[in-house]
Chain A
Amino acid sequence: MRKFADLNLNIQTENLESFESAIRKASWLGYKIIGVSLPPKTTKEKITQLKEIAESFGVDLASRVNLSPSNPQELLRNLRRLRRKFEIIAVNCHLKSVARQAAKDRRVDIIYFPNEIKKRFFDKAEAELAKQALAALEIEIMQIPTLPRIQRTQLISRLRNEVKIAEKYQIPIVISSGISNPILMRRPREMAALATLFDIPMEKALKSVSEIPQSILERNREKLSPNFIAPGLKIVRKGKDCPNA
């Protein structure tokens, strides 16, 4: 059975009651994995507390941080500081230089772009870099209905183009809501249906709200585990567990 995921909820985490009701709603809508974007200064204790609340509703919470650096150097500094703290690192590529740096850095999991057409730098060069660094392209689908009509039409057209490039370079596409108001939350199948507007076949769209985000999360959790050494290399036994030690 599919495990549906929405990796980008910008919901309040300060007020635990509203956080709880948003998670309850996500669970009712059929999500098993939820990514909540947290401020970079969030403590590990706070993350554990939020995870426990989510778990009580049968939802696996992924800690996520959205970086919006003003230059590539700032991005590198933030990555050094935050990579081991959060399970998912997403970069808002509002500048071309930041977009290029984010796409080629293996510590970045997700790249996403603003809704303004002129600030969307996902082209063939970006896709080539993202392919090598295993970064995924995120589409914040619930931003689309809230846009003015002309801007919305232009964005849908632009996204169709980006999806074509991503498919050509085999860049995984993550469909997420990107909402800050829980009333905009939609069921996973509805989000996938909206993704068909960019000529993504329904089956692929469903993967973008289930298997792809799940694999990103699992890969990162493995990397963050203390037994991880390098891709394909991890500690299985140590100390007394080793028979010849």
Chain B
Amino acid sequence: MPERLRRRYFAVKLETEEKIDKRKIVNAIWNAIYELFGDYGASKAGLATIDYEEEEKLLILRCYHKAVDMVRAAIAFITKIDDKPIAMHVIAVSGTIKALRRKIKGKFQPSSFQSMDKAS
């Protein structure tokens, strides 16, 4: 019997001064995965974008649970999009989207994001 594919959901906080289009961010993540792990690695990631809140600069991604470290590395690897400096921080990882939303609601209120933005 084929093994059931387990997934993980990521909440990623974007640290940038400007608003960036969702497509550019997702492309940047895919490019980072291709650069670091190639087509073979990328095929094992099962990466998908679930949601993007542009105002809060919060991205929700999904990948296979065996590819969590690979996606983390790719996210950390991104330093620029369109020659504009950017940092992406994984603020929570969870097995279900419901639990992920609960986690980020409790731990990372928008106010704490703002204070971090000022810090940078």
Contact = CB atoms under 8 A, between A and B. Distances in A.
B77 A21 contact: no
A149 B35 CA distance: 9
Interface residues of B, number: 23
B111 interface: no
Contacts of A194: 73, 76-77
Contacts of A181: 85
23 contacts: A21-B120, A24-B119, A28-B112, A28-B115, A28-B119, A145-B76, A145-B77, A145-B78, A145-B79, A183-B79, A183-B87, A186-B76, A186-B87, A186-B89, A187-B76, A189-B90, A190-B75, A190-B76, A191-B76, A194-B73, A196-B73, A197-B36, A202-B69
B72 interface: yes
Given A183-B15, A185-B87, A189-B90, A197 B119 contact: no
Contacts of A189: 72, 90
Nearest to B71: A193
Interface of A (DSSP majority class): helix
A83 interface: no
Contacts of A190: 72-73, 75-76, 89-90
Contacts of B79: 145-146, 183-184
Given A28-B116, A144-B77, A183-B79, 18 more contacts: A21-B118, A21-B119, A24-B116, A25-B116, A25-B119, A28-B112, A28-B115, A145-B78, A182-B120, A183-B85, A184-B87, A186-B76, A186-B89, A187-B76, A189-B72, A190-B73, A193-B72, A196-B73
Contacts of A24: 115-116, 119
Contacts of A21: 118-120
B25 to A, nearest CB: 16
With most chain B CB atoms within 10 A of its CB, the pick from A181, A190, A202 is A190
Contacts of A28: 112, 115-116, 119
A93 interface: no
Interface of A: 21-22, 24-25, 28-29, 144-146, 149, 181-187, 189-191, 193-194, 196-197, 202
A95 B120 CA distance: 35
Given A21-B120, A28-B119, A193 B89 contact: no
A11 B15 CA distance: 18
Contacts of A183: 15, 79, 85-87, 120
A156 to B, nearest CB: 9
A104 to B, nearest CB: 34
Contacts of B69: 193, 196, 202
Nearest to A202: B69
Contacts of B73: 190, 193-194, 196-197
With most chain A CB atoms within 10 A of its CB, the pick from B36, B76, B79 is B76
A147 B35 CA distance: 13
A181 B85 CA distance: 10
Contacts of B78: 145
A190 B72 CA distance: 6
